[in-house]
Copies of this chain bind each other. A is one copy, B any other.
Amino acid sequence: MVPQLTVDDTPTAEPTARDQVLDAARAARDAQPRLAVLTRARKDAVLLAMADALTGRSAKIVAANAEDLAAADAAGMDPGLRDRLVLDAERIVSIAQQLRDAAALPDPVGDVVRGSVLANGLQLREVRVPFGVVGMIYEARPNVTVDAAGLALKSGNAIVLRGGSAARHSNEAIIAVLREVLLEQELPDDLIVGIDAHGREGADALMGARGLVDVLIPRGGAGLIRRVVERSTVPVIETGTGTTHVFVDASADLEQAVPIVLNAKTQRVGVCNALETLLVHADAAGTALPVLAAALVGAGVTLHVDDRSRAILDAVAATVDPAAVVDAVPEDWDLEYLSLDLSVRVVEDLDAALAHIRAHSSGHTESILTRDLAASQRFVQEVDSAVVMVNASTRFSDGGEFGFGAEIGISTQKLHARGPMGLPELTSTKWIVIGQGHVRP
C-alpha cells in the first residue's frame, strides 16, 4: 500500500539497525500472504510441529538461556525478573503446550461478522481477515515469544518480535527453532522474525514502520507501554496498566465484601487486574472498614489511607496493626502498586466514588459491592472502564476467565479492542460484495 509507506528505504553502504529492522518487517510483510490463505488444519499442523520442535530441541534453548542468566546474575537482576527469565526442560514443555492450546482454539479468520442481501440484490458479507504484520514489544519473558508467535500464526499474521535485551539469547534460540519448523513445513521463515539484536534503535525503527507493520502491541510495565504509545506512528493497542478500584457501597454484604476485597488484592499481586484502591461508602465505613482492614493487614497488606479512614482505624488499633497503616500521599491515588499495598479512601456517597474513579482510574477494571440494584445500575452505566463488575473480584478481568482460551493482553484503549483480547482481536475485517453486473443508478 504505497501511499501509507512513509519509511525511507534508501539503501546505504552500511545497513544500520534501523535498515535491518525495516528489512525484517518488509520480509514479514512479503511472507504474510502465504499464511493468509492457509486453512485452519494446515496452521494447526504447523503449531503442533512447533510444539514438538521446542521440546525436541530444548537443549539448545536451555544453553542459550544459560547465557542470558549468566549476564543477569552478573548484572544483579531482581530475583522476580530472573525467575521469569529461567528456561528449563520442564518450562519448555509448558511453553510448548501454549502452542498446542493455540492449535485447539477456533480460527477467527473467515468468520462472517455481518451479512445481508441489499434491496438491489448485492450480496454483502463482512468477514474476519488477518491484520497482516503484528509487532510485539515486550519484556524479558521468553514464554511471551512463543505465545505471541503462536497466536499470530493462528490468526494468519506474520509477527515481528522485540523482547527484552536480557532475554536476547533465549529469544533468538526459540525463534530459530520456530523458523526451522516454518521451512520444514514449506512456509517462509520470515513469518516470524526477531529483532532483539538491534537494541533500542531497532525498537524505535519498529515503532516507525508505519505501512509495513499493521499494529503494534506493547506488553509489559507502564513505562514500556507509555514509551510505545507516545513514539509509535504504527497504530498501537495499549494494554495493561490497571489502577483498579473496588467500591464498597453502603448496602454491601460484608460477608461477601471481605473475601472479594482480599481476593482482589492478594490472590496474585503483580498483575494488572489486582486491586489498587479501595473506596468505602461513609455510611458503611464505621463497621466495614475495621473488618476489611483487619483481614487485609492480616494478609500482609500495607494500607495507604485518607484522613477519614485514619480516624476510623486509629480507634481499632487493637485489631488492625497501626504499623501497617500509613497516610496516603496524593500520588497514591494514581499508583499501580503491583505489591501488597492498597490505597484506602472513605467517600461520601456513590457520586463521590464515581468522581474518584473518573479522576484516577486507568480505565481497566472497577467493581462495586452492593445489594442496591439502582446503585449497581448507575455504577455499571457511569464507570467508563473496559470491565465493570458487580459483587465480583477484579481478578476475573482476564481473557482466560472470560473463556477466550488465549489472551493477547488487556486493552485499556477504546479503539478496536477493549478489555481482555482473544484471537479475534488479532484480526481485522473486510467487506465482500458479490454482484451480477450491478451499476449504481
Contacts and interface: CB of A to CB of B under 8 A. Distances in A.
Interface stretch (A75-83, A100-108, A256-264): A256-264
A392 B434 contact: yes
A307 B363 CA distance: 58
A419 B437 contact: no
A267 to B, nearest CB: 6
A302 interface: no
Secondary structure at the A interface, as helix, strand, loop or mixed, is mixed
A431 B388 contact: yes
A438 B429 CA distance: 36
A6 interface: yes
Interface in A97-132: 116, 118, 122, 124, 126, 129, 131-132
Number of copies: 2
Contact of A1 (B4, B229, B256, B361): B361
Given A1-B361, A413-B235, A434 B263 contact: no
Contacts of A361: 1
Nearest to A376: B434
Contacts of A118: 401-403
Contact of A396 (B36, B122, B243, B436): B122
A12 to B, nearest CB: 23
A11 interface: no
Given A132-B414, A382-B37, A433 B388 contact: yes
Contacts of A402: 118, 124, 431
A235 B437 CA distance: 39
13 contacts: A4-B362, A33-B384, A36-B384, A235-B235, A253-B437, A260-B438, A267-B439, A380-B432, A392-B438, A396-B435, A397-B433, A415-B428, A419-B429
